[in-house]
Chains A and B, each alone.
Chain A
């Protein structure tokens, strides 16, 4: 298959999904079929893309027949292909899970259209090679997420929506402003062209200032300290499948953008941005995990853990060695699967145990021992216990930081791992281990009787837990792929050559 098709199909599948789901308005069954088919299409296209780039080639395509750097480029390398594949996997898993329970109510409010719109924005953001185009994908992703978050229109959701929408809008507007300044300095928006032009600029001090502006905007998207307040204020109000897909993808797009820009565009002044990112990573990990320790609602505990885990993903940029960047990539991949799975299990706990509030549920291990095991796999993986996927990704980033002499960063990472374990054990003790409260028998019987809901909700959980186990027990190919992807990110010439065809000469900055 040509590069054009390889890079376009993953975006085309959800785009067609959006259009057809909107056309099938009023036919919920048809919408479900289209949505699932589009998600499957995205997954298949992403597998083909990954197979094409896994040997280290970078593929690129230009839209509209414009020669680079004038048109919009799409670029696929090992990192973006892995992110697209994981998006496809989540699209299918959460898409199946989303067919349960109150789906009719959601479908009346454009659920499938918005769901596919979210996937469209995320996939586009992973594949684009143009920084203004990245802004457009961010907006597509955002407006879909606004819709999904306020889908039910309850008082809680409206309140959460206000904070989520306002803070995210400010962040993206700031992003656009940074893009404008970058364009003013370099005269180009193509990321491969920017990578060539930025090192030749005279005023490198301004480049560093601009790098910090991008760090702030993408940091707000990725929910790092001190810009994460929108996340714990909003996530716990959405229904289980929606918050699962949010947790899996939204913040990771911010992390992806940070890693991409700080390896491709702004790697010149690592001595200045490095300590800042290190401090941000430490505070993100610590505040997130402490926030989680204070809560008794499963969704709120897990939301704070998203924040906490983002800190580990910044190790790559803080330490800036190939091993650390590879470790960060492995961490993102592992985290998306584990975190989405935990939110899916939280949905099951709510349905079977009657509440998201840990104080009002319990005894689930007695009635559903298998669910207990299914919870322990992602929970212990999140905390980083061997032999699960979290152990290898934590091991890689912490080894990389110790190798580079970042003792404080490594210590914080290990300490936060223990506190993560504390939160997971709290959920285990309260929801699974302690005696069931008196009134919970009825909801449990209703759950046991509903075979369809059980199959739909538990099959994605089983599949994702199996993947977590696979990454843990057969870590070699996954670690190897991530490390090679990290090395590829540090070698900018492959990316630039892929966009410009043959090795190109550096052109002068166009004011």
Chain B
């Protein structure tokens, strides 16, 4: 099973990398989500996939015998909660940016770092500049 999961991990990282390189912020959020899940899968793999028995210590025993590795499950649970909250925050941030800036194209977002005036503008930055003008 492990090679299959390792392959799935690789594919997910590749998909995430592709999405993250997009200029569209919606795709970037999706990329972050996929990357977070790929990471959770890598934690699961790192704990080795052996037993399917729940990691419960039987009554009277003091040590776990033959159960699945419980540590990756605890780690993934923590990581899922964190990545869920961060992706929720990111989505809200991107949405409010979309409303205020009127674009989802990261190249057109030059509010914080305006381009120098004397530079010869390209087509896209001209369009961006025109879009920004009313607010200035």
Contact = CB atoms under 8 A, between A and B. Distances in A.
B73 interface: no
A142 B38 CA distance: 21
Interface residues of B, dominant DSSP: helix
Residue in A146, A180, A237 with the greatest tally of chain B CB atoms within 10 Å: A180
B112 A156 contact: yes
Contacts, number: 98
Nearest to B94: A162
B90 A136 contact: no
Interface in A147-174: 150, 153, 155-163, 165-166, 169-170, 173
Given A146-B89, A162-B25, A169-B90, A236 B43 contact: no
B89 A143 contact: yes
B79 A176 contact: yes
Interface residues of B, number: 38
A489 interface: no
Interface string A129-140: 000100010010
B1 interface: no
A189 B47 CA distance: 12
A511 interface: yes
Contact of B97 (A136, A158, A177, A181): A158
B30 interface: no
A184 interface: yes
Given A159-B101, A160-B112, A177 B86 contact: no
Contacts of B38: 177
B14 interface: no
Interface stretch (B51-59, B103-111, B118-126): B103-111
Contacts of A161: 93, 97
A251 B97 CA distance: 25
Given A153-B96, A165-B93, A511 B135 contact: no
A173 to B, nearest CB: 5
Given A159-B110, A511-B48, A170 B39 contact: no
A233 B38 CA distance: 28
A433 interface: no
A162 B43 contact: no
B45 A173 contact: no
Contacts of B112: 156-157, 159-160, 163, 233-234, 236-237
Contact of B93 (A132, A162, A176, A237): A162
A161 B90 CA distance: 9
Given A139-B86, A143-B89, A158 B100 contact: yes
Given A163-B109, A177-B42, A183-B43, 6 more contacts: A160-B112, A162-B109, A166-B20, A166-B28, A176-B43, A184-B48
The 6 nearest A-B residue pairs measured at CB: A184-B46, A159-B111, A160-B112, A158-B97, A180-B43, A180-B42
13 contacts: A136-B78, A143-B85, A155-B101, A157-B112, A159-B110, A159-B111, A162-B94, A176-B39, A180-B42, A180-B43, A183-B47, A189-B71, A233-B112
Interface of A: 132, 136, 139, 142-143, 146, 150, 153, 155-163, 165-166, 169-170, 173, 176-177, 179-181, 183-184, 189, 232-234, 236-237, 511
